[in-house]
Chain A
Amino acid sequence: MSEVAGDLDVALEISELRRDLLLLLATRIERSKTVEHLVYRELEIDQVWRLLDAGEAVPGLPVASQSRLRAEIEKVHDYIGVDGDVQRAASALRSALSGAQ
């Protein structure tokens, strides 16, 4: 994964699911300030959804939480893209990960 953790003006390439990476995405969402940032964050969440839909799992996350994560990711996606509500999106993502070790 190529990572420029602090640069909000690029979309990270998301090729694997890890709790620390998803928490990083939550931080990036929270720090996003411009409408362009929201597009980059939405695309990052699109990539997370793609992996989830392909059956990827977050290591350490209980099975029940994996299912909840997929539903929550769709909400996070729309909190960003529809509502522009970065705080709500970041909170929802962190909450969805709360079962992971």
Chain B
Amino acid sequence: MLSPADNELLVRVGAEAPMGKLMRRYWMPALLESEVAEPDGKPVRIRLLGEDLVAFRDTQGRVGLLDEHCPHRSASLALGVNEQCGLRCLFHGWKFDVTGQCVETPTEPENRLAKRMRVKAYPTHIAGGMVWTYMGPAEACPPFPDFPWLKMAPGHAVPFKILEDANYAQAVEGTVDSAHAGVLHRHVPWTHETTWTHEKDLQPRLEVEFTKYGMRYGAIRSFDAERSHARVTHVVMPFWTMIPPDGFGPRKNRRLSNAFVPRDDESTWHIQWFFDDSQPIDVAYRIEEGGHWIDENFRKRLNRDNWYEQDRQLMKTGLMSGLRGVVTQDHAVCETQGRILDRSKEHLGSSDLAVVAWRRLMLQAARELQAGKTPISIAPDISWDALVAETFLFPKTSSWKAVSPLPQQLAAPKAAAG
């Protein structure tokens, strides 16, 4: 559980909130590159960390990310004309380039005003099929993280984007919670026999380890008389989870990285990269598997308004949840926790260890930044290629850490308890 004060500290992501300030110190994926594919194409409205912004690709192919509202009289720049290296407000023609510099004020008698006017603009970077941005102080901008899935061959790493109608924190917590996998994602009705390890052993033993980038945790289950089954997940600050492979066929070597980018305090952009160095990602398979059926605004077709089209008959004959798609299942439980989960009302158990650890990680980092320190996770001196989420079997006489030790370069400086 968290006190009301700690819960507020965890969930509020506005510009003046401590967690909002922490979030702004990291590069974050904002839009699919396909949303602004065309130079001089349609501008796109995007809400990030409670800020209403507009993205556009200019004549030279550069992507700008500006405050949505014109500094003249606040009309939406998303209505504007995108041409000749700038976005021109529809109201009075003020034009801005991708840096936010006003370059024309045609309804004013002289152009000196334009030189003094700027609209807020955030830098952008394109990688892995997405437009990324950094919304923090310019002087503190960290190096762009070269995550391994951003460097893979075409088709081997594919981003997906979907809107989740809940605060980012509970969305992240859903992916640092190995125990739920055997229940929520159960392939058969509750009373039927199952073949999956995580559905047979519903009480994984969890162990956490804090690192330079955040933390990792192992979920250990019994596999047979001699062996245990381990799933090792990396949790990267501030909102990433790197999920190891499971299953067969298209899933055998496929990994997943989730980013839960706060849209505002009550909604989240759930970005997923599926990647596999052994074969291209089967996009159609993933859409069906995930239930990734969305409209043009990235809203799920199976959503709270239609109660996720839960099928009670299917619950008796097939999927225990009656909810089609893994993402539908995860979002349903997350969104029905409430827009902002009240953690003072929880009753946690031993299966919630990684959730507790993640909360402390985030709260400590927000407090450190508030105290004027820079959390180590903001620009860790590590090779991101060393982060590999894994699934493996190991002898019960050994330990998962012995089989998969944390590389020294990823280890956090040891902090002592007070």
Interface residues of A, Cβ cutoff 8 Å to B: 9-11, 13, 32-40, 42-43, 46-47, 49-50, 53-54, 74, 77-78, 81-87
| A–B pairs, 11, beta carbons within 8 Å | A9-B207, A34-B414, A34-B416, A42-B356, A43-B356, A46-B352, A46-B356, A50-B349, A54-B347, A77-B1, A86-B417
Q: Complex: how many Å from CA A33 to CA B3?
A: 24
Closest 7 CB pairs of A and B: A50-B347, A46-B348, A84-B418, A39-B357, A85-B418, A86-B417, A35-B415
Q: Complex: how many Å from CA A85 to CA B417?
A: 7
- Given contacts A46-B1, A74-B3, whether A13 and B417 have CB atoms under 8 Å apart is no
Interface size on B, residues (CB 8 A): 24
Contact (Cβ within 8 A) B360 A81: yes
Contact (Cβ within 8 A) B417 A37: yes
Q: Complex: how many Å from CA A86 to CA B416?
A: 11
Query: Inside 8 A of B108's CB, which chain A residues have their CB?
Result: none
- Given contacts A33-B416, A47-B348, whether A82 and B207 have CB atoms under 8 Å apart is no
Which of A36, A38, A83 is the most central at the interface, judged by chain B CB atoms within 10 Å of its CB? A36
A7 to B: closest C-beta gap in Å: 11
A100 to B: closest C-beta gap in Å: 23
Check if B111 is an interface residue, CB within 8 A of chain A: no
Contact (Cβ within 8 A) A83 B418: yes
Interface residues of B, Cβ cutoff 8 Å to A: 1, 3, 6, 205, 207-210, 346-350, 352-353, 356-357, 360, 363, 414-418
Query: Inside 8 A of B209's CB, which chain A residues have their CB?
Result: 36
Contact (Cβ within 8 A) A82 B417: no
Query: Inside 8 A of B418's CB, which chain A residues have their CB?
Result: 83-87
Query: Inside 8 A of B348's CB, which chain A residues have their CB?
Result: 43, 46-47, 50
